Amino acid sequence: MSLINEQQVILGLTADDRHAATRALAETLVATGRCTDLDQFVADVRKREETMATGLPGGIAIPHARSAAITEPTLAFGRPAEGIDWGAKDGPATVVFLIAAPEGASEAHMQVLPRLAKALMKKEFKAALAEATSEDEVVAIVEAEVGEAPVATPAPTPTPAPAAAAAATEPAEAPAASSGLTLVGVTSCPTGIAHTYMAAEALERAAKEAGHTMVVETQGSAGATPLSAAQIAEADAVIFAHDVEVRNADRFAGKPIIDVGVKKAISDGPLLISQAVDKAAEWKADPSKAAAAPAATGSLATKVDEKAGIGTRIRQWLMTGVSYMIPFVAAGGILIALSFLVANQVIEENAQQEIVSYYVGFVDPAVSSAADYTPDPYNLAASFDATSMVYWAALMFVIGGAAFGFLVPILSGFIAFAIADRPGLVPGIVGGFIANTMGAGFLGGIVTGVLGGFAAKWISSWKVHKGVRGVMPVVVTPLLSLLITAGLFITLLGKPIVAAATGLTEWLNGIPPEQALILGAILGAMMGFDLGGPVNKVAYFFATAGLASAGAVSGSTELKVMAAVMAAGMVAPLAMALATVVRPKLFSEPERENGKAAWLLGASFISEGAIPFAAADPWRVILSSVIGSSVTGALALAWGTESPAPHGGVWVAALITHWWLWIAAIVIGVVVMTSIVLILKSRDPKLATVDAAATV
């Protein structure tokens, strides 16, 4: 079946706005059987439009989307007589292509769409469409340019060939052509359908007209042929035109790079080529510029839309921190869960208390070599026994705990990185470590990340003498930004959080035993509030302190409090894991991946498994968590469940009195939290923008 037919052409397109025009064009796809659900497809196109308007310079509009409602790659064409505002700066669109792609189209099937995107950059193609007098003429023009069957036109030459061809046909100008630069680039957009290829065509054409050679790697829906190492090595400069992260960007380390949004390449290709040429000349004249540049951009990358609203940018900063924190959560949490699982199999009594007593400490060689030296059995560095499963369980716990120790510093560091790039890493990571040490938890880490990022960004913007520029990124910026961030947090910002935590502990100790139900709801809410932060830790330490004083006396309030606290602490990660399964489209790709690990983390009483969700969307997740966790805490206490174990989650369920009621309380709280968070997130209009722009 052809890409377009006469039924999918509207020469006299009339509509009040771009959304009405999109619907009119989509109706032609329904009429030809290529769209099975009009409302779904129109909604998918509109979601794409909210991410980035698809109006382009020169009176072109290319609304497009991937959708489950589309059966095959297809087009609809409209030509508004008076033009329709489609978000382009230079005026309304008079040529409109609605581009529709199935969600799971094969690479071969998608090749036709990039050909259309490149054709739209040709003046002669647009002129022919503007002058067409009938629907079948439009179809013929489109098929001749981008049809799936080969057409009787000369085969396109490889990108480097134009300069060589010019030299062959016009020998007199060969010396001029040889003076051109060798450029490379990468283009990409959220859907990878149109902008990716239009930007590539615009850059290649602009480079050719300026007498340069350029090869562009299109990281789009039709697949990409990566630039070879030789092509990158020979390049004088690089142009990134993208709205999603450039894959493997570290390949371009040490090259002068122009980094812009994808639409900039479409509208200002010649300007970007000029900037690349100028930057290449600057680097050639002053090698210190290359030395002062970041060593690589691919291994540490983020894409924050500086033109977006402040709310969207804040979410994107947080998502960047979450993206880099997720591996620490997953690795550390799973190791801790496995350690408890093994411990319960090999230790008869108080397995959790026993395992958490192990540590790694310094062993003085002079002391350990003495004849009367007795190593501490709990120091793994001194007493590890490879034949004992107890020691293997302890080893996993210690390593997992070490990974968890990095959660707040990494979160803070990469929030700062998203704001200020590499200069933000030092104040962010060290500031996060200080926040964690002071007991400020991940909320403190967010504060230090934002503070460190803006401090580094401000210092980096200083206009300094050229003799100082070389040491700014490696000495001055990290030194001063760290001093500002850590100094302010230690002396001013951290104190209120620590004071609040201390006050909460004193208040909880003052609640009388007869108000146990209220106490359960309060403790549950605290466990769900900051997920391993100071408020959470106050509730947990309150429970464990009581457990120590109660011993193993059955029926004591302390055992009931411990059961309620542990149950409530499991709700948030389990609920977020469930939410990503029930409504995956409400979550970004990093969150969906973290949801898979959150099942095990939640089951193991590791509240931190929900931190990535709370850090990315604090008020929705925290509000839902507080309500769901408080319900579980109250029910667990009301039903008289008791736990002699301070940790372990479902792995210690056999030790819990009325364990079936304890599980029921958790399930109810999880359902409550999941329902609330899904309702709140379904009303979030910024999710698509954040998902498209944040690092994944």
Residues with catalytic function = 64, 189
State the residue for tokens 């002391």. Answer: 367
The residues, ordered by sequence, that sit 6+ positions from 279 with a Cβ below 8 Å of its Cβ are: 237, 256, 257, 258
The residue to which tokens 């020469």 are assigned: 11
Q: Checking DSSP bridges between strand 74-80 and strand 95-102, what pairing results, if any?
A: antiparallel
As a whole number of angstroms, the distance between CA 197 and CA 195 comes to 6
d(CA 531, CA 525): 10
Nearest Cα residue to 96 out of 122, 47, 144, 58:
58
Distance CA 272, CA 263 (A): 12
The Cα–Cα gap between 635 and 654 comes to 19
Secondary structure of residue 93 in the 3-state scheme = strand
| 326, 328, 330, 336 alpha-carbon torsion, rounded to 10° | -150
Asked whether 531 and 608 are in contact (CB, 8 A), the reply is yes
Using alpha carbons only, what angle is made at residue 319 by residues 453 and 330, rounded to the nearest 5 degrees?
Answer: 115
Task: Say if residues 239 and 128 touch (Cβ distance below 8 Å).
Answer: no
**Scanning the structure block, which residue is given the tokens 């615009």?**
202
Pairing of strands 74-80, 9-13: parallel
Handedness of CA 575, 580, 581, 582 (dihedral sign): positive
Which amino acid type is present at position 299? S
In the numeric block, the tokens 């910026």 are attached to 477
Instruction: From residue 324, give the alpha-carbon distance in Å to each of 408, 575, 598, 613.
Output: 11, 22, 16, 13
Instruction: Put residue 91 in one of left, alpha, beta given phi > 0 → left and psi -120 to 50 → alpha.
Output: left
Cβ-based neighbours of 123, under 8 Å, separated by 6 or more: none
How many CA atoms within 13 Å lie on the side-chain side of 159? 22
* Ranges assigned E (strand) in 189-312: 213-218, 237-242, 257-260
- Rounded CA-CA distance 564/524 in Å is 7
Report how many helices (DSSP H) and strands (DSSP E) the chain contains, helices first: 31, 10
Q: How far from each other are the two terminal CA atoms of the chain, in whole angstroms?
A: 36
Strand partners, 70: 35
Q: Shortest CA distance to 40 belongs to which of 690, 680, 578, 585?
A: 585
The residue among 342, 368, 374 whose CA lies nearest residue 355 is 342
CA distance 317 to 446: 10
Please, which residues bridge with residue 100 across strands?
A: 65, 74
Helix%, strand%, coil% for the chain, nearest 5? 65, 10, 30
Q: What is the spatial distance between Cα 183 and Cα 232, in angstroms, rounded to a whole number?
A: 9
| Diameter of the chain measured on Cα atoms | 102
User: Distance (Å, rounded) from C-alpha 330 to C-alpha 325?
Assistant: 9
Contacts of 539 (CB under 8 A, 6+ apart): 504, 508, 523, 526, 527, 565
Nearest in space to 433 (alpha carbons), one of 485, 397, 476: 485
